[in-house]
Structure 1
């Protein structure tokens, strides 16, 4: 935690652009209801110098320039980027059409961890395939509030639209075409798009790279189009705006370079559900202003928790969450590892923000993986297993598995992806895995669970044969891409029956990655991450048999988490690694430290010092804090605006 004097005026951002705070008047409409009386500056609230609202010469210049911002938005982007007129992405994805699916939120599947989205997509593909007599695939999908937007090849659109009104998981669903024209069916598509381009043009500042979407209720074009007069047009407005914005760029790189700051201040947002497409359209944002809205708690912006990996400055002041969740600053810092400024206050040093260090890191050294092997049994098994899985699965199955061995596969579609590839939006294409997935969070019926558990070497090999050809990193030359732990496991079933209570074996957990290989070309099609848990026991041709093999496949998450950052987590003993009383484990001490921070709002260092002074007695630490609280300096506490 870094305590600094709060700067006056606009939120200053040394990395390009700034976002200023604004005021608004509260009204009682929906999620994205704009206050028509709210005020906004023509400059968009981002300046390279000066204070927000100050009447400087530069501000006057900006005010004059604002009157000319009705020029075509595409030309502005061209002048900023340079080069020839841009080729819209719409032309590139000409073969796909977007459809809007609603009503599924009332289905029985809505209680699933993903809101029933994966089940709905599978159902749509299955039913549409029955209609067309050939496979129908949904190429892309995204959630926008209560709607599911799917991208379908043009030749399959009619078959999917025929499912409109069908019953999915106990409820009727509605399917319709999604386009900017939906904002007002009485207005032509071209007119609607031109209106949205005009809004973007007047609210984009080339110099500061800011897209100012604050107080949208006062925008003359939106008022004239009566966008916020009904909930229907309100809910469709922002996705349509983002789609038009996306089409002005020929590549994501140009788009991310042109817009690094966005303001959504003064819009009376109660959650980000109505504007969630901002994260898909501008994933590399550095500055985001959410001030003066109606977010009651952090749950209102939970949908953006793992978004915006490069976020440098966030403003949430003027929202009820400041009072409802006193510890919101600590949570936001954990959500955004590169966040440097919160509500104009620097809460993480430039160096820590650059490295993505969390200010809530616990001052305990990270423990190395625990690998308790005996006679290199587990080590030799791992080296043989993954090489064999890539080269000859049939032989591998006969080598280590018998008729009592069990194998199960689960797909985790919600696992976080590698932050360095957060801008990639290519579909994950789980078709080859989903049919055999035994994810118990999604598969709730006992017969389905039992049918997806493979038992016996032959059944296991058949399951493996249906999965893509793989190539794992070499354990000897690329150990950094693996995280492996091993420990003894008593009570493993004895296949001979000589030991009814079981025998000693090993529990081995493996985290890593693999490439899916195109057999015809030998090229890599996709890289994925996986987690695999083995229980090994005696038996088999080599003396080792796999009793249980549980595998989880997920989107590629990278391997940065496998390597401790010694600069941020490994603290030399002389530098202050806590000396704990006998019987107190580091795990319990860490939890005590976190809880003391939560209850007192003290920084990590002060909370640690407090616990050490009372020999890590938590109740005494609270009493000591209460006794000296009035005398503690300001830098003893987490600083928030």
Structure 2
């Protein structure tokens, strides 16, 4: 544990007054008259503070054990310290003040009130926007499993950052987030600079199924920087400019410890790790490029050789700044095992060359190459050895792309036109009058659920840049890959007409393609099913019904922005007999699945068989008539010509005239 400084208000340890001293400091022993050298202290109400410490910093008496306010009638028995009843202690007054102001020391109250944690927050009310704070941008909450929790998962994320940062930093000092808010896809948190440095170490960590990206946004724009900051920024730009080769598009950041400019700037004083320097260099790089495409075209290769890096966590900012890097040299560093590289397992997906020569990992983990091949799908050159050919890379990437299931046309086995009639009516009413639709086809036992898969579908439509919002659907989503607990799954299964109507009113308005004119935008299957519950309860073995599955698309309008978006959907209905006295058809189950728009896979074309011409058809008929009648080809032809090349009539004519035919008609029949 690091040594602590002297306590507040205590004098230096070597400045004890000798016994009998008349100074203000307390004596070491003996009986000493209490000196009243200061005025009487009062509490918050202006009353005399009976529990105030004496002038020498020592309390006039021991504090009371009871820290609560008596709620019953005041006792008439005289108190030991006078006729006045006991007053709450200073600790109790602090608790009371917290209750009155609502500034308790837990995490939610600190978020709501913007106050720092600990007891100091209540004494001074220190705001979080002081000059010693740091603002961090955290990306990843919206794509995590916690986004479906109450409050959008903000509380869970803040607890994770505080707890994990303290663990990673290996400190007993509690990490505190003073203020936070969500803006779009990002969460902005404000901490002290010391705590912010520790939270930045979590960049690239996994949280609730997603990888967090944490950056420092507390530095202002060019106009807001101090003269010293501008000078440092210019010096770092000069370092980058001297180390960049525009011909090879190589940014050479090797052996930074030997760079005279960086030495003079003091980045390597005291044997510090290169993490802070890399973050500063990458921050400057971010400001040099306006678009990601410009960055990709400018920097293809980076060398970090000879920088004494022992964990990629120290240079995580490189993967954030140049995620599309093609060539990377990490030679002559201190990576001991694969764990030191694991934070990059799901990053740098376009890396083709990786050099780890002269690093401890070569001796400690001989099979590291086989593992890294799986981490980087495009890797071809690893430490000077070819591990894949370009053809192998192309084949493996093609195998990873999802391929649509071949469609051989719809399978629509309807019963009395029930399925067709339902689909035609459902699409129109769902777009125009959902309340009446639910009242007609749904009852108290009907169920409805919606599942959202908002992952981009670039493999099927790479030219579609649409990134629509899913906020109106996410709160109802029952996607089992993200909703893993039984309770939330049950809550998102909506049962009964009233509940289904309520949910439908909160979903965006839609417009489906017209079934008559745009049927190619749908794939609809219909199958009979048995064993459905009988709503009248008369048939325990169940009743017959149908299952309808629709795949297609629709346009909707976002409630807040009023922007329109096109989405793909699949919807499965189970239809059964209705309750007596109501509509004869009812929806037993309705499951709606939504995903990013992608056109339906076209049906697999059937092989076309070349049709024979007229002469070939006639020859085939002659051969067949020869087989069935035993006549020669010549007489068979005569028979077919007489029947106007109608094979059935020719065979019938043969049977009628068989006895009249000459012997030569069958001369070659054998």
TM-score, scaled to structure 1: 0.48
| Structure with larger RCO (C-alpha < 8 A, sep 6+) | 1
TM-score by length of 2: 0.47
